[in-house]
Structures are given as C-alpha cells and as structure tokens.
Structure 1
Amino acid sequence: MPEGPYDVAIIGLGPAGATAARLLDSRLRVIAIDQKQAAGGFQKPCGGLLAPDAQKALARFDLTLPKEVLVDPQIFAVRTIDLKSGLTRHYQRMYLNLDRHRFDRWLRSLIPAGVRVEEGCVCRRVERTSGGFCVLYEKEGALREVTARYLVGADGAGSLVRRAFFPEVSIRRYVAIQQWFPDENPNPFYSCVFDPENTDCYSWSICKDGSFIFGGAYPARGCRARFERQKEKLAALGFQFGEPVKTEACLLLRPAGRRQFCTGRDGVFLAGEAAGFVSPSSLEGISSAILSGSRLARALNGDGDPVRAYARGCRALRRKLWLKLLKCPFLYDPGLRRLVMKSGLEAIGVERPEQARPTAGGR
C-alpha cells in the first residue's frame, strides 16, 4: 500500500526544490525525494559560479554562505574568447567560486526537520490518482510508493514530472559536457568561449581547488566530437588540459521563447529548470530556481488557488528571462559579438608582470 497521503511531494532537491521545502508552512505534510547523496553520488556539469542574481536571491532571505561552500581561487574577471574572430577581451564579473555539490547540500541542510527527505532515490513513475498523485521511487534497490495532494517537479532539465504531465511543452535542449583536470595552468582564470563552428551556445572553464574544469553546452548530435574539437582549438591557445580525472554530462535547457516557460496546472507544479526558468543568454539558473521555489511555497501556503497564485508570482521572473532573450543576439550573433568585443566596451585591461631582464652585472 502507498504511504500517505502527504500534502506536497517534491521531486528534486536542487536550489528550487530545497527552497520550496524550506519555506513551506509547517502545517503541511511534505515529502521530498532527491537523487543526490551526502557522499557525492549524483552530480551535474556546472561551473560552480554564483552569479550576482543568485547572490541577490540569497540576500532576499538573509542567507549567508558558509566558508566551506567556497573554493579557491576567487576570480574577478572573465576572459572572453571568440574563436571565430580571434578576439579576446576581459570583463569584470562579481561571481563567487564555489563547490556546487556542497552548495546544494547546504541548501538541503536548511530544510526543517518536519519535512521528510528521501535521499539517494530515483523517481520511477508519477501518475494522477482520484485523490491527487502517486509517486513510485527506488531507494537502495527497493521500490516505494507515496501519495500526495500536490506534486512538485523540481527535477531539472530531464524532468520526469514535466514529461509525464506536460509533454506538449518543448524546450530547446543541449547536452552539457564537462571534464576535470589537474590544474597545470600557470595562472588561474575563468573563461567564456564562443565557437560557432561547434555550438551556437558557449563553453566555460574555471580553476577550482587545484582542478581545472572545462565544459560547454552543445547540440545533441555529435556533442562529444564537438567538445573534443573545441579542446583542440583551445589547447593551441595555451589551455593546459592533460588527462581528465572525470567526465560529466547531462541534459541542459535553454528557452527560446515565452511559451517555453511552464509553471504547471491541475495540482502539478514545475519549478527551476524543470519549468524552463534558465537564462537563455548565460544559462544561469540558480537565481531563478531560488525565486521560483520561494514563489511556489508562498502559493501553497496561501488560502487561494495555488496554481493561479504561483503563475502570478512568476510573472516578473518570466518577464526578466524573456528580456534576456533580447540580449542573446549581442552575445551569440558572430557579427554583433565581433563589433561589441572590437569596440572594447566595458572591457578591462589586464596587466601581466614583465619578466625581469638581466642587468649587465648579472650576466
């Protein structure tokens, strides 16, 4: 027999699901089912940089990051490389360099003890029942079933909940591939790479606690070959890769229009990347995940129709992400990007120490 009923079942405890679970009223009976484990387990390709929008989202809840989440070094400029034009520029950026798995675990630690959290689980099936929803998940090789009045899909790009209840919502998809290497680069740096021959999106690199990470978002067809070709190009520019320590890959969403955002209906809710709430220009999704999770909790805590309340609460977020679509041509159109980079607008000069020259007496 299924266990329950719960008031809310949350699938996924990334920033969206963890925020919703943390802010739901204690009068609600909540279960959260997550694939990650404390020791590591499931991890996704992510540069692990906390953008200003995400910092602001945390500040709205008076949350401060513990130092254990941060990693070295903290880098204050992005090296932007356009492989087609051969241009390189540096732009100031106020990102925080962090360990993404530790960050997610920290958000998980903020969830009240009254919420039942099931970790290391794989959700196998979600379906509607006469009284709400039934969730079938696997934990330690055993299948378990729970029922709930409301169902929340915070399960990322490949959301089982979205596929089960909103198959008509099609969102532009990429494959994110990322590799970790021992850091052999002489100076730590963060880079953003544009290479239209291999992807109409972008790639990234970052130094992190003695490791060098390189990753990118690629069209699914031939994604691994595109990734390797790009590494060859960057190696010719001086990137030090070496032998990879590990390789990660996952599905990544990049909305192309307002209709690709979906908050849910009929007792089913989508939050974070599952709802399509990802910046189409930068692929940043932590800020939108936190904000959508908080709006969802507010809607479920209220006395009115939570579906309508959640949709209203996400209007500003939808509008913000739609405006970022207008920014995309300046980043991704090769001609416009070349003009912007060639102009040097907002670029900063990076001064390297000159090598010491031997004096006459030092020969």
Structure 2
Amino acid sequence: MYDVVIVGGGPAGATLARLIGKSRKVLVIERRNMYRASEKEDYQKCCGGLIAPDAQKMLAEFGLGIPQHILDGPQLFTVRTIDKKSNLERYYQRHYINVDRERFDRWLFSLIPSQVDVECEAIFKGLEHTNNGVEITYVKDGRKRKAATKLLVGADGASSKVRRILSPDYPMPRQYIAIQEYYRMDGEMPYYSSIFDKDITDFYSWTIPKDGVLILGAALHPEDDPVGKFVELKKRLRDRGFDFGPCIKRNGAYVSRPRKVGEILHGDGNIALIGEAAGWISPSSAEGLSYCFRSALALSDAIEMDLNTSVAGYRKNTGKLRMNIRWKNIKAFLMYNDTIRFLIMKSGVLSMGSIKSKLAESGIL
C-alpha cells in the first residue's frame, strides 16, 4: 500500500514527488521514458519551452537553478506583439528563460528522490475505490498491473483521465489544441512573437526562435478546422515577412483555458488533481509551469499536515491561486477585447518604441 500514487511525471507530478518523496511511500506512473530523449512525436509536450517570470520565481523559492545543458538560445528579452485586425505592432520588454522543454522535464524528473518508486512507459487505465483508499490499474511492458494507495494524485495534463473518471460531469475548462511546427531558420530572431487574429483563434498564436529553428504555434478550437486555420495563419505571417524554412517537425497537444474558478477541480475524497489536470493554467497566456509548481507545493504541504484530509487542506492552501485565476481572467478580457487592445497598443504605453527601427537597421526585419 502506497501513501501516494501520482499519475503523470511532468513538472507537476515530478515536483510533488520531489517534495514528499522522502517522507511518504510514493509511486510515480509516467507514460514517457524520462531517462532518455523521446523518440515518438506524440510523447513530446507541445510547448515552446519559455519559462516565464512567475515560474522563475517558483524555481527560486525551491532553491533550484537551471543547468546549462537545458538552456536553448537565444535568451529572449522582447515580445513582438502583432494585432492583425488593427494592423498594429508593438515591442515590449519581457524576460523569459529559453529552454529545451523535454530536457527541462527530464531534469525535474531526475530530482525525484531515490526512495520513490517509478514506472516509466506505463499507461494509467483506471481506478476503483476500496475501503482503505484507491486501487489503480496500469499497463507496463504489455502487462496489466495494480497498485493500492491511500491518496491518488492526477497530474496527467489537460486531457486528464483521472479527472474524467473522478468527476465526468464537473465543468471543464475550455479545451484548445495547440499545434506547433518547427522550421529551419537562417539568421537571428531575438524576440518571441505573440499574434492576435480572431479569424484564426480567439486565443493567440506565437513564434519562438531556438538555435537555428523557428517554432510557429497556435492554440486552436478542435472543432473549428484547426489544421486549416494553422495553414491560414502561416500564410498570413508569410505575407507579413516571416520566412518559414523547411518544416522539420510538428506536434500537438490539448491545452486548457479556465474561464472561471468554478472549473478548477481540486479533487474529492482520496483523489486530488494538480497542474493542468485540475485546470491550473493562465487563461490569458496559457502559462502553466508556475501553476504546476504552486499546486504541487500546496498539495505537498497538505499531505505533510495530514494525509487523510489532504484534499481539503489542498483546497485551503490554494486560496491565493484561485484569486490569481480570477485576476488572469480579467487580464484576458483586456487582452482579447479588440477595442481595448487597440487603444493600449495605439497609445504605445510600456512599449519599446525604438526597437523596430533598430531591428530593421540590423536586417532582422
């Protein structure tokens, strides 16, 4: 009997295992092989690999520094914001840490204490409630296996199977499919692009440079011809001067967007949800790493206080995080309202007015 079984070894699950792994009997089940680079496209997280300031702050609070081999170039300090409807562009100062996301995930996973049992390339299949907790079923090496636990934690992302089994009728955050393509790129592009175009999506699209490669991505409605919308996005950006070389890779994944706090599901009884499985992700930017870290920390504190009441304790510990989701929804309204965004961008407030001419002089634009 385990104290805690964690389904999902991404940033949320790996962080929770690291925080409680020395004081509790823990099992982590992860569908990827986290000890080597993935070879299957569908195992790769659809994420540009930019660590935003909120996530940087959490890494600092954990006392963690990112190893050199995880970093990708260039390090970015500028966001190029493109508003298709008004045909406006602005540049804003931001500081992201540019990393290889897969190596970043494997590094976090490597920090799990040796006392924790780990099953990689294992697929979670289902659960049953028992008198003492929960019994889960998973498949490893083609064989069905079982594990009993006092507390089950779903850290299995936006399409969380644990969440669907736990509460199939609970309101879900809006689901998008994030599509990304990777292109060979000559020259330099020292900025991250954020593109607003309601003909493509009511969320946003992006470009991110990485060591001779340019990533183009978009969060799209699954039911609204996402492939066709992505092709149209690429055409529109080419018309704006973006030079996409040969496509060398593409991937996709579901992304959540909570429209209200009531779509966040902490868990119930002896099952808890953290990270995007619970709905913790920014509705304004889809930044999720800081929420993975903060929700894992909130649950770990509740577990250390009392394993038997950990779900209730976890909910209590996330009061500030729920307030953060409320604020990010207000921010999202301001960002995605055409009139408000036009007025802000037209005013040039907080923008870097001279950078466009400097980039043009250097041949980047």
Per the normalisation by structure 2, the TM-score is 0.93
- Cα separation, partners in 2 of 1:207 and 1:29, compared to 1, 3 Å: same
Q: CA deviation at 1:189?
A: 2.9
Cα distance in 1 between the residues matched to 2:37 and 2:115: 23
Q: CA deviation at 1:25?
A: 5.3
* 1:314 partner letter: T
Aligned to 1:280: 283
Match of 1:258 among 233, 242, 261: 261
1:152-208, CA deviations, whole angstroms, 9 ceiling, x for partnerless residues?
000000001100002122211111101111113553431000110110000111111
The alignment status of 1:154 with 2:172, answered yes or no, reads no
Contact 2:284–2:328, Cα closer than 8 Å, also in 1: yes
Q: CA deviation at 1:40?
A: 1.5
Contact 1:48–1:98, Cα closer than 8 Å, also in 2: yes
Aligned to 1:324: 328
Segment drifting more, 80-89 vs 125-134: 125-134
Q: CA deviation at 1:8?
A: 0.7
- Cα separation, partners in 2 of 1:23 and 1:328, compared to 1, 3 Å: same
* 2:59 partner letter: L
Aligned to 1:28: 24
Q: CA deviation at 1:355?
A: 7.3
* 2:76 partner letter: I
Cα distance in 1 between the residues matched to 2:136 and 2:238: 47
Segment drifting more, 298-307 vs 172-181: 298-307
Q: CA deviation at 1:352?
A: 3.1
Match of 2:227 among 207, 224, 227: 224
CA-based RMSD: 1.5
Aligned to 1:19: 15
* 2:345 partner letter: M
Aligned to 2:200: 198
1:113-134, CA deviations, whole angstroms, 9 ceiling, x for partnerless residues?
0001111222122232232112
Contact 2:201–2:220, Cα closer than 8 Å, also in 1: yes
1:292-321, CA deviations, whole angstroms, 9 ceiling, x for partnerless residues?
101111111113621211111111111111
% same residue = 43
Aligned to 2:349: 345
Cα distance in 2 between the residues matched to 1:294 and 1:12: 16
Cα distance in 1 between the residues matched to 2:206 and 2:130: 44
- Cα separation, partners in 2 of 1:245 and 1:158, compared to 1, 3 Å: same
User: Which structure has the larger Rg over C-alpha atoms?
Assistant: 1
Aligned to 2:38: 40
Per the normalisation by structure 1, the TM-score is 0.94
The alignment status of 1:92 with 2:96, answered yes or no, reads no
Segment drifting more, 127-136 vs 225-234: 127-136
Aligned length: 352
Structure 1: gaps spanning 5 or more residues? 357-363
Partner-residue secondary structure (3-state), 2:157:
coil
* 2:318 partner letter: C
Segment drifting more, 161-170 vs 86-95: 161-170
Aligned to 2:316: 312
Contact 1:43–1:101, Cα closer than 8 Å, also in 2: yes
Cα distance in 1 between the residues matched to 2:310 and 2:284: 30
